């Protein structure tokens, strides 16, 4: 049996545009292409697409996915490995569910008027998060900046890294306070906080106006970053992005 590209898009939820792109880069060539240019897919192509989507869920980039698919032989063995990783991911997500639930309980228990309750153990906020899953993406997107940041961060101890994480969280909370108070992103206080964020980034790489605005956009477009911001306050990713855009236009252009 053969399926058209529209059929595959409907079955999988992957857009036709993405399927055409996968064909162009050799990741998912169709079983055949008619004289009219219409692509047709067979069962083995659907199974390959399933593997692609599984590996995307596990955080692999397209280049790594292609390498895995090119060298695999036993499809069932590969699926077993994906299954093992998915179970591990489920366990990680269960831990995240407990982490967020515990945070909600602590905030509600200690709530006093409009003041934010104090978290008893800040390190518990990050139980279940795996920061290492972002490293491959950073290396692929910004290779020079990644290597520079590794040279700088390499000597950092676990305590240094924990302190850095606390600083990042504190910065996000301060931005959330501005947002909840209705402070415009162009306000001098918000822009001062954004400048502190930019100067901190410059310790690892020096983004141009376009790059800094692009980073802010990624905070909203990438569900992983958006989720991290939303755990602080709903809408914070957009607020951070807009503040960064104002800063880039005013200070970096």
CB 209 within 8 A of CB 201: no
pLDDT at 152: 46
Which pLDDT score, from 0 to 100, does residue 115 have? 47
Measured CA to CA, the distance from residue 97 to residue 91 in angstroms comes to 10
Distance from C-alpha of 4 to C-alpha of 39, rounded to nearest angstrom: 6
Of 58-67, 111-120, 139-148, where does the model show the most confidence?
58-67
pLDDT surpasses 90 at 190: yes
The residues pairing with 115 across neighbouring beta strands, listed in sequence order, are: 112
Domain locations along the chain: 3-71, 73-129, 133-253
Q: Which helix (H) or strand (E) holds 33?
A: strand 32-33
Q: Which pLDDT value is given to residue 113?
A: 47
Q: What is the mean pLDDT of residues 139-146?
A: 54
More confident residue, 233 or 117: 233
Structure tokens at 82: 């994906």
pLDDT given for residue 78 in this prediction: 65
Choice between 174 and 75, residue whose per-residue pLDDT is larger: 174
Q: Same CATH topology for 3-71 and 133-253?
A: no
Which residues, including other chains, have CB under 8 Å from residue 133's CB and lie 6 or more apart?
A: 59
d(CA 93, CA 99): 10
State the average pLDDT over residues 41-70.
Answer: 81
Report the distance separating Cα 100 and Cα 156, nearest Å. Answer: 28
Task: Please indicate whether residue 214 or residue 104 has the higher confidence score (pLDDT).
Answer: 214
DSSP string, 176-197: HHHHHTT--TTSHHHHHHHHHH
- Helical (H) or strand (E) element with 41: strand 39-41
| Choices 1.10.645.10, 1.10.490.50, 3.40.309.10, 3.40.50.300: CATH for 133-253 | 1.10.490.50
Across residues 193-216, what is the average pLDDT? 87
Higher pLDDT, 39 or 150: 39
Asked if pLDDT for residue 45 goes beyond 80, the answer is yes
* Residue 124's pLDDT band (cuts 50, 70, 90): very low
Amino acid 132: pLDDT? 47
Indicate the CATH number for domain 3-71.
1.10.1660.10
Under a CB-based contact definition with an 8 Å cutoff, are residues 200 and 174 in contact? no
The model carries a pTM of 0.44
Q: How confident is the model at residue 123 (pLDDT cuts 50, 70, 90)?
A: very low
């Amino acid at each position: 049996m053969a399926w058209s590209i529209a059929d595959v898009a409907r079955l999988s939820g992957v857009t036709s545009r993405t399927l055409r792109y996968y064909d162009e880069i050799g990741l998912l060539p169709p079983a055949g292409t008619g004289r009219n240019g219409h692509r047709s897919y067979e069962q083995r192509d659907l199974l390959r697409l399933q593997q692609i989507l599984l590996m995307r869920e596990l955080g692999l980039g397209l280049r790594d996915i292609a390498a895995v698919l090119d060298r695999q032989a036993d499809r069932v063995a590969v699926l077993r490995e994906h299954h093992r990783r998915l179970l591990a991911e489920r366990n990680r997500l269960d831990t995240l569910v407990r982490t967020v639930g515990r945070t909600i309980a602590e905030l509600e228990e200690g709530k006093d008027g409009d003041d934010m309750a104090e978290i008893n153990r800040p390190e518990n906020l990050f139980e279940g998060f795996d920061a290492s899953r972002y490293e491959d993406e950073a290396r692929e997107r910004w290779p020079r900046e990644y290597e520079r940041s590794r040279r700088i961060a390499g000597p950092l101890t676990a305590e240094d890294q924990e302190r850095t994480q606390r600083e990042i969280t504190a910065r996000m909370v301060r931005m959330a306070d501005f947002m909840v108070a209705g402070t415009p992103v162009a306000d001098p206080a918000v822009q001062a906080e954004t400048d502190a964020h930019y100067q901190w980034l410059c310790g690892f790489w020096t983004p141009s106006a376009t790059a800094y605005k692009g980073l802010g956009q990624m905070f909203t477009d990438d569900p992983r970053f958006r989720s991290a911001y939303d755990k602080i306050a709903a809408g914070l990713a957009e607020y951070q992005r807009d503040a960064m855009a104002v800063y880039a236009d005013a200070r970096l252009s």
